[in-house]
Amino acid sequence: MSAISIGQAAVLGVVEGLTEFLPVSSTGHLKITEGLMNIKVDDKAVVGFTAVIQVGAIAAVLLYFRKDIVRIVSAFARGLANREERYHHDYKFAWWVIYATIPIVFVGLAAKPLIDGPLASLWVVAGSLIIGSGYMWAADQMGRHKRGEDDTDIRDAMVVGCSQILALLFPGFSRSGATISTALIRDLDRLAATRLSFFLGIPALTGAGLYELKDALGAGASAGPLVVGTLMSFVVAYASIAWLLKFVANNTLNAFVNYRLVLGVVLMGLLGTGVLTA
């Protein structure tokens, strides 16, 4: 029997699509939602399910940024064949994304027992929501927002890419929150920081979803819920990407910071009163 029903899969797909790229923590929201629906958050099939439906959100990114991706991949291919093309920013950017993904792959594999075990606790989610809010607020205050996307370099990619580890180890911190905030500290403007966060998330999240697929199916996750969850994630994520890019162009991250703080405090209250179990 599947650990997740079709109806639950649809709800979790919506939550994943809505929160994957907003700096509010998709993992945290999924774990909270699973707890409210009495789904065991430490069940291997559930852990695999939540990783697999991320592929729907990634598919939304691929579709939304298809022109940029084609341009970057084309430049990368030309650079492999022609030395002169290797000076092109898009060729170098492709390598930066590859390099920046390596640290999170190593940490993800090495720390998987912790990530799927003790660090999956809702207490960790609550604390990470609050601490991550402070990081986001500080980054928005510190950043001078003076550098655009064309000004990014390998140091930006590596530092921002490594910041994904914070969200990997501490669900609730938010991958997008960590990467956008770190990019702001590097003085990228909000739009450039957000777009860099999207591009760096593509290989990391796709790899995690594909890696977990066999484990999800092997642990009892049915194909039906996986398909429904992934499709819902795709549709909702596409809409949230379009909205976020428009929002960050003219607004600070304060709305997300305040929301995360309230959610973190409420979650601690629910856990402390026994309404939710960690």
Type of residue numbered 35: G
Flag whether pLDDT at 218 surpasses 90. no
**Cβ pair 91, 78 in contact under 8 A:** yes
The CB-side HSE value for 86 (13 A sphere, CA atoms) comes to: 6
The more confidently predicted of residues 44 and 162 is 162
pLDDT value of residue 45:
73
pLDDT value of residue 14:
96
Number of domains in the chain: 1
Segments of 95-150 assigned E as strands: none
- Would you say residue 233 lies in a domain? yes
The more confidently predicted of residues 260 and 27 is 260
Q: What is the pLDDT of residues 122-156, one digit of tens each?
A: 899 999 999 999 999 999 999 999 999 889 999 99
Percentage of residues of the chain with pLDDT beyond 70: 95
pLDDT value of residue 276:
79
- Would you say residue 278 lies in a domain? no
pLDDT value of residue 208:
77
Q: Average pLDDT, whole number, for the chain?
A: 89
For every residue of 56-87, DSSP letters joined together read HHHHHHHHHTHHHHHHHHHHHHHHHH-GGGGG
- Would you say residue 16 lies in a domain? yes
Q: Could you tell me the residue range of the domain that residue 199 belongs to? A: 6-272
Mean pLDDT of 96-117: 90
Mean pLDDT of 73-93: 93
pLDDT range class, residue 162, cuts 50, 70, 90: very high
Flag whether pLDDT at 157 surpasses 90. yes
pLDDT range class, residue 210, cuts 50, 70, 90: confident
Q: How far apart are CA 256 and CA 262, in angstroms?
A: 10
**Cβ pair 140, 189 in contact under 8 A:** no
**Cβ pair 44, 219 in contact under 8 A:** yes
Mean pLDDT of 36-55: 79
Q: How far apart are CA 258 and CA 73, in angstroms?
A: 38
pLDDT range class, residue 1, cuts 50, 70, 90: very low
H or E element in which residue 98 lies: helix 89-110
Q: Which tokens sit at 269?
A: 């209250």
Percentage of residues of the chain with pLDDT beyond 90: 64
Please name the residue that has the structure tokens 């490594």: 162
pLDDT range class, residue 211, cuts 50, 70, 90: confident
- Would you say residue 277 lies in a domain? no
pLDDT value of residue 180:
96
pLDDT value of residue 184:
96
Q: What is the pLDDT of residues 169-207, one digit of tens each?
A: 998 899 999 999 999 999 999 999 999 999 998 898 888
